[in-house]
Structure formats: C-alpha cells, structure tokens
C-alpha cells in the first residue's frame, strides 16, 4: 500500500517495530463478530479474551447472505473495538444512564446495551444518513433499553450532569482503518489531522456538561497520532478538570497498554493482534454539586382503554404514544427518564403503522426481543426463501394460509409478510433490502460457508 510519507515518519516515531506495522498492511483484514447474548447461544469455541461474546473467524463469509445477521443474531465488529468491554469491566460500573455520543453504525451502542441491560442507553448520531444506518442496526439488535437520537452534541448541554457513562468514539482521521479502506489513506494529511482534532475538542466541550460528577467518559478513536489521542486527554485535564481513571488488562493479551502522564491508555496495532487501529482512555468528571435533571415535556400517552388491540404484542410493561401515523412503545420503567430526554426527541420502539382502522406491525417490533411471538402466526422460511424475503421479493409456492405472518429463519424473526393463499406479500422495509442479486448456486455456496464458520443456534429454539 502506498502510504503518505509523513504518515510513515509519524509511525516510525511512535513504534520501534514500525516495519512490522507496515508489513501488516499486506495481510488480509481479520474478521470478527460479537454475538447478541439475548438472541443467540454461545458458540462452542474460544471467545476473544477481552470480549465474552466476541469471536475471531478464520475467513470472511458473505455476511449479506446470512439471514441471521439481518435478524440481529450477531454484529460484525472489529476485534480491537471490543476491548471496550474488558476496560469497563475493570471499573465494575452500574450506570443508570449511558450515552454513545457518536454512535453510527452501532457497534458500541449494541455492545453497551448488551453489557448493561438494566441501563438506559442513548445512541446519538448527528449525520442523518448515518443515523438511519444506526437506527436499522439498533432495531435489528432488538434491545428495549436502546434509543436513537440524531442531535448535534451541543444539544446535550440541555441535560446537565445527566449521564453516568459517556462513550465518545469521536470522528477522526481514520489512520487505523487504512488497511481496511486503502482509499482513506489518499485523503490523509496533517491538515486533516488538525481539523479532526479541533472538531473533537468541540464535541468534547459540548458533551462534558452532560456527564454527571463522578461519571466516566470513554474517549476513543481509530487513529494513531498523538494530536487526536493523548493531546486531547491533556486538553480535557487543562480545560475541564478531568481526572484520569486507572485500569489494567492482563499482560498476556496482545493489546498495547501504555501510560501518558497519569493516564492509562490502550493502543491497538494490526501487527500485534488480529484487529485494526484503536485508541482508548478513560476520564472521570470530578465529584461536586450535581444539577437535578430538568422536568421534560410529558409524553402524551395513548389511554390504556385504547391499547387493547396491541397491548399483548410485547412482553413486560409498556406505555404507548402516537408519532404521526405510527404507534411507539416505551418501557414503563424508563418513562420518567424518557420524558426528561424529550429535548432530544428520541424514537421509541416502532410498534405499528395506523392504516385507517387497521394496524400494520412495524419491522422493529418483529426484531424486538420482547416480542410476544405467541400472539402472531409464524412462517418459517428456508434459506433461499429468507434471502428472497430480505431482497423484498414476494414469496410463492407456500403452504396455503391467510393474513399477517411473522417471517422467521431457524427461530430468529426477521420481519413481517402478508400471506394470501400460497403466496405472500413482502412487508420488509425498502431501505433495508438486500441489493445483491446472487444466483441460487451462490446462495447455497454462501450458506455452506456461513454454517461452517458460524454454527449458531437461536436462544428461543431450545
């Protein structure tokens, strides 16, 4: 790979074994996944040492042709990023409110929702196109404690001293992704690094007021240079009074633990472990007086007497409201919190679209792990049928039936369809559809590889 000379000089200054680092750019990009512990049983093979649900794969299958991925059975994520779990585990946190501030495409948000199922997790992405991808991925993950917002970081100043834990995986120059995306190296420059550093400081300054005194900020990037990493820690100390948080991981792990002044930092390099570039450090907001959350706008809920048509669609306790032509569901346990968050306009679980007097269940409901499947008729699909469904095709030659059906694949719900005799109309979202047009032979070949690499079993399939 033709890397910028200035970048090479930078890495020689950072690494005594820089040549081995550059040689790793000729190696295949490693592949890893993280299982959804609420939907999928553990694999009978060693996990990544730093992630209890993370697995390294020996090859990269065609994930797009795996209905289990679209069902939220697992998430494809770089192994380096999963080290977040091990670092947080050192602190034994029990956060009530968590913010993933720069969340798209959703890797850390879904990880946090799984690590802290009793916490409220807000996944924010300011860029609307990326927020749509985030909403799709979090919907497929199916956790009722995970909510998406699309606001500028400055909006969070309206929630002073609110979050116990903020993860800020900030936009960066992306040096750690050059092997995965060679084109990105052509856009790299020192000017871009400096621009990214200024943007990061703006984001951090706007997020810091919403961190509760004593709360933890996880600062991370996918880049190597000190300007976007260690220098930002110094800046937070100097301008915000941030305090370092110490932690330690086993020395046998192939993760580079370094120190910067009083800070413990994590640096991941592709020549040292099977993952891409990643930097992480933890900071604490000093203890002190805490502002009480402002009383948010009360949610205008649908009266209980009007919810009988859909109140049994979900397990657990929920409240409901109208948002334009849709019905949203909100876990009752977080109603007060969600009212305080109305300044951010978070989206609840999309339950149903109102079509005159009829209700059409929405895709997120099918994928929610609190779905009460006993209420709905289920149509189990073959792999080829599931791919056709995910391409948003109509299905034919089915066993005769009528009405709304929950489409399922090997025990994982993937969406809704409406059956009419031996055919079914497809209700899968247009924006989520598979755009590949593989042949039947390609689909069969892909499935053989997927099942060999990932012999998964749905949690509810026994």
Which candidate, 190, 163, 184, places its Cα nearest to that of 101? 163
Q: Measure the CA dihedral 361/362/367/373, to 10°.
A: 0
| Closest CA relative to residue 156, chosen from 211, 85, 232 | 211
User: Which residues, 6 or more positions from 85, have their beta carbon under 8 angstroms from its beta carbon?
Assistant: 50, 51, 52, 54, 111, 115
Distances (CA, A) of 389 to 131, 346, 396, 419, 433: 24, 30, 11, 13, 8
Residues facing residue 416 across a β-bridge: 406
Q: Which residues pair with 458 in a beta bridge?
A: 40
The side-by-side arrangement of strands in the sheet containing 54-57 is 54-57, 31-35, 74-76
Instruction: Provide CB contacts within 8 A for 415, sequence distance 6+.
Output: 363, 366, 367, 389, 406, 407, 427, 428, 429
Which residue in 81, 222, 268, 368 is the catalytic one? 222
Q: Kind and range of the H or E element at 123?
A: strand 120-124
How far apart CA 386 and CA 428 sit, in angstroms, is 11
- DSSP helix/strand/coil, 358: strand
**Contact (CB, 8 A) for 411 and 430:** no
Measure the CA–CA gap between 271 and 253, rounded to whole angstroms: 13
Q: What is the rounded distance in angstroms from the CA atom of residue 461 to the CA atom of residue 459?
A: 6
Closest CA to 44 of 461, 457, 405, 462: 457
Q: If we measure between CA atoms, which residue out of 204, 256, 281 comes closest to residue 235?
A: 204
Annotation says 102 is catalytic:
no
**What is the chain's Cα-based Rg?**
23
Is 282 within 8 Å of 259 (Cβ atoms)?
A: no
Determine if the peptide bond prior to 392 is cis (ω within 30°). no
Question: Which of the residues are catalytic?
Answer: 222
């Amino acid at each position: 790979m033709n890397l910028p000379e200035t970048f090479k000089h930078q890495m020689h200054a950072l690494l005594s074994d820089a040549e081995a680092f550059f040689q790793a750019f000729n190696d295949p990009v490693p592949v890893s996944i993280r299982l959804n512990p609420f939907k999928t049983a553990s694999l009978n093979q060693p996990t990544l040492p730093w992630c209890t649900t993370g697995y390294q794969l020996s090859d990269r299958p065609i994930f797009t042709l795996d209905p289990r991925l679209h069902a939220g059975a697992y998430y494809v994520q770089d192994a380096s990023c999963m080290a977040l779990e091990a670092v947080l585990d050192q602190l034994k946190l029990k956060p009530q409110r968590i913010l993933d501030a720069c969340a798209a495409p959703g890797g850390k948000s879904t990880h946090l929702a799984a690590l802290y199922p009793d916490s409220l997790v807000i996944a924010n992405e300011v860029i609307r196109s990326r927020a749509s991808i985030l909403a799709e991925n979090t919907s497929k993950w199916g956790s009722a404690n995970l909510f998406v917002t699309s606001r500028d970081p400055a909006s969070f100043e309206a929630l002073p001293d609110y979050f116990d834990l903020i993860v800020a995986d900030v936009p960066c120059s992306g040096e750690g992704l050059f092997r995965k995306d060679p084109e990105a190296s052509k856009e790299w420059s020192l000017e871009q690094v400096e621009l990214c550093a200024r943007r990061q400081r703006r984001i951090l300054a706007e997020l810091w007021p919403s961190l509760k005194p004593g709360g933890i900020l996880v600062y991370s990037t996918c880049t190597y240079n000190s300007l976007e990493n260690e220098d930002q820690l110094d800046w937070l100390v100097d301008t915000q009074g941030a305090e370092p948080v110490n932690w330690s991981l086993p020395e046998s792990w192939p993760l580079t633990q370094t120190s910067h002044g009083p800070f413990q930092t994590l640096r991941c390099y592709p020549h040292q472990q099977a993952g891409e570039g990643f930097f992480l450090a933890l900071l604490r907001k000093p203890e002190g007086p805490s502002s009480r959350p402002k009383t948010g706008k009360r949610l205008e809920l649908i009266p209980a007497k009007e919810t009988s048509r859909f109140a049994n669609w979900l397990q657990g306790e929920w409240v409901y409201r109208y948002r334009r032509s849709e019905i949203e569901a909100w876990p009752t346990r977080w109603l007060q919190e969600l009212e305080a968050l109305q300044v951010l306009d978070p989206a609840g679980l999309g339950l149903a679209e109102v079509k005159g007097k009829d209700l059409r269940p929405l895709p997120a409901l099918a994928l929610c792990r609190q779905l009460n499947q006993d209420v709905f008729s289920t149509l189990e699909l073959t792999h080829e049928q599931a791919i056709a469904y995910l391409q948003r095709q109509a299905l034919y030659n089915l066993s005769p039936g009528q009405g709304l059906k929950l489409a399922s694949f090997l025990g994982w719900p993937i969406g809704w369809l409406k059956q009419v005799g031996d055919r079914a109309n497809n209700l899968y979202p247009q924006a989520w559809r598979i755009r590949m047009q593989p042949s039947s032979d390609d689909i069969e070949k892909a499935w053989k590889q997927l099942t060999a690499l990932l012999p998964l079993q749905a949690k509810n399939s026994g």
